Amino acid sequence: MNDIQTLGQLKASGYRPRSVKEEMRANLVHFLQTKDRVFEGIIGFDDTVLPDIERAILSRHNILLLGLRGQAKTRIARLLIHLLDEYMPIIGGSELNDDPLAPISRYGKDKVAEMGDDTPVEWVHRNDRYVEKLATPDVSVADLIGDVDPIKAASMKLPYSDERVIHFGLVPRAHRGVFVINELPDLQARIQVSLFNILQEGDIQIRGFKLRLPLDIQFVFTANPEDYTNRGSIITPLKDRIESQILTHYPKTIEISRQITRQEARLAEEQQKLVRVPDLLEILLEQISFEARDSEFVDEKSGVSARLSISGYENLVSTAERRMLINGEKSTTARLADFWGVVPAITGKVELVYEGEQEGPYAVAIALLGQAIKKLYLEYFPNPDKLKKGQERDPFGTIRTWFSAGHSVDLLNDASDADYRQELEKVAGLRKLVESLGMPEEDRYLLMELALHGLAEFNVLNKEYLESRFSFRDLLADMLNDDFDEDFDE
């Protein structure tokens, strides 16, 4: 490749032009035959989205990825460059990536006519054949397609009728490459119209010029469902011209969500070494996202991005790390109380409906956390509401008795590991309840804490967040105290 520097040498090498869609199709065929992965790092789409994309590429289709936020649409689009050849020959100095054997621009045609087989050839890496544009309301036809450049006309002393005065937009400059428009509905309708010709006839027209450029581009568009956004929609004629519309989705299982979060979370090396996050807490974190997607307070049309779990995981680790540093400890294990630091990641990632706005973002976040705790609790402990009447032994009997005697537990957010364990150990019957599960010793204190939070969610205990601690007390005693306070005030 490095030895080929002229058009004559390129011809002698046996090079034959082919369209970008044919190129991507041929390379995908090779990937499928060798069982190599094209979309490295995309998790949970192996049986749904990715086969649809592969079928679209084999069909030489332009693609619309339609899905809610945080469903890896842009990442998928960026990975498509792996289906391009590593290097591509162009006429040296061409701004439109002219194929030396099939130039489309005035510059390319003139160069070949002037120099023949001595026309210089340059090689473009596939990374430079990817163009991405975020659609915004201020995007113009000139940005995408092109316009007359009066400065170029003046400096070259050319009349406006000469096509050399054209300044090409992003679409022509993506010739022989992949062009991605993110959030397509945000483009104004009149701007979307400018894409009709390139998608159907494969050419564009700029201003009043008779020139029509036969562009060769693989288009990929991304969008949220039209009924989600009030900012705009994809006009029907444009949608009709995009051959394959592919629906993306959120992870369907907790385990897939965990894999995505582990892959995407950006943790410092020392955080990974010094802070241990038990599997139980990873599951709880992902369960919050699943609860949010089903919550009556969260707008389901907006969706709940995978970024909630990713940001939440980073916050969880940082909360535990901060506590470790404050207490001068060398390492620590994340605990349920550390989820107080995850709340900011939840409030910033959910779009609330009217009822949710009335409750407030903070209250909704706490409610989602409570629902997730309740569901996780039932994976390990019996449901207090479904204990059989007359049951010989209440598994929570000793714990109930201890709290009803007026005892309480205060779990400080920044408590040292020793103080945290000591506070849990004082609850009569709590350790025995957890030991009966046969869990590893390293997770027993976490399960003891989960038992308290779970019993509070089932209204066996009263849980309050006071300043910087969770406080657990007997529910009935608290109710009696409240009644006494009201009588006293009267």
Asked if residue 488 has pLDDT above 50, the reply is no
**CA 371 – CA 374 distance, rounded (Å):** 5
**CA 17 – CA 121 distance, rounded (Å):** 14
Nearest of 298, 278, 437 to residue 371 by alpha carbon: 298
Nearest of 136, 130, 242, 132 to residue 191 by alpha carbon: 136
CB-based contact 297:366 (threshold 8 Å): no
**CA 347 – CA 353 distance, rounded (Å):** 13
Asked if residue 249 has pLDDT above 50, the reply is yes
Q: Can 7-247 and 250-379 be said to share one CATH topology?
A: no
What confidence category does residue 151 fall into, taking pLDDT thresholds of 50, 70 and 90? confident
Q: Give pairs for 98-102: CB < 8 Å, separation 24+.
A: 98/175, 99/17, 99/176, 100/7, 100/10, 101/7, 101/10, 101/11, 101/15, 101/16, 101/17, 102/17
pLDDT reported for residue 77? 96
Gyration radius from the chain CA atoms: 31
pLDDT reported for residue 466? 78
In terms of pLDDT, which residue wins out, 116 or 2?
116
Asked if residue 31 has pLDDT above 90, the reply is yes
CB-based contact 204:145 (threshold 8 Å): yes
pLDDT reported for residue 392? 56
pLDDT reported for residue 462? 93
What amino acid occupies position 342?
A: V
Q: What is the pLDDT of residues 85-115, one digit of tens each?
A: 999 999 999 999 999 999 998 889 999 999 9
Mean pLDDT score across all residues of the chain: 89
Helix (H, G, I), strand (E, B) or coil at 334: coil
User: Any idea what the Cα angle at residue 10 is, between residues 7 and 14, rounded to 5°?
Assistant: 140
Asked if residue 322 has pLDDT above 90, the reply is yes
Task: Delimit the domains of the chain by residue range.
Answer: 7-247, 250-379, 387-490
Q: 362: which 2 tokens? A: 């903070």
pLDDT reported for residue 490? 47
CA distances from 217 to 18, 174, 330, 397 (A): 12, 7, 55, 70
370 CB-contact burial (10 Å; exposed 0-12 / middle 13-18 / buried 19+): middle
Asked if residue 229 has pLDDT above 60, the reply is no
What amino acid occupies position 78?
A: R
pLDDT reported for residue 479? 55
pLDDT reported for residue 210? 65
CB-based contact 289:311 (threshold 8 Å): no
Q: What is the pLDDT of residues 323-360, one digit of tens each?
A: 999 999 999 999 999 999 999 999 988 889 889 999 99
- Sorted by sequence, the CB contacts under 8 Å of residue 285 that are 6+ apart come out as 261, 309, 312, 313, 316, 339, 342
Q: Report CA torsion sign: 256, 260, 263, 266.
A: negative
CB-based contact 370:345 (threshold 8 Å): no
Minimum mean pLDDT range among 37-46, 90-99, 167-176, 478-487: 478-487
pLDDT more than 70, % of the chain: 91
pLDDT reported for residue 150? 73
| Topology (CATH level 3) of domain 7-247 | Rossmann fold (3.40.50)
User: Any idea what the Cα angle at residue 60 is, between residues 191 and 48, rounded to 5°?
Assistant: 95
What confidence category does residue 487 fall into, taking pLDDT thresholds of 50, 70 and 90? very low
* CATH of region 250-379, choose from 3.40.50.300, 1.10.8.60, 1.10.10.1100, 1.10.8.80: 1.10.8.80
**CA 20 – CA 215 distance, rounded (Å):** 10
pLDDT more than 90, % of the chain: 68
The predicted model scores a pTM of 0.86
E strand or H helix at 218: strand 217-223
pLDDT reported for residue 485? 46
- In this prediction, residues 130-134 reach a mean pLDDT of 95
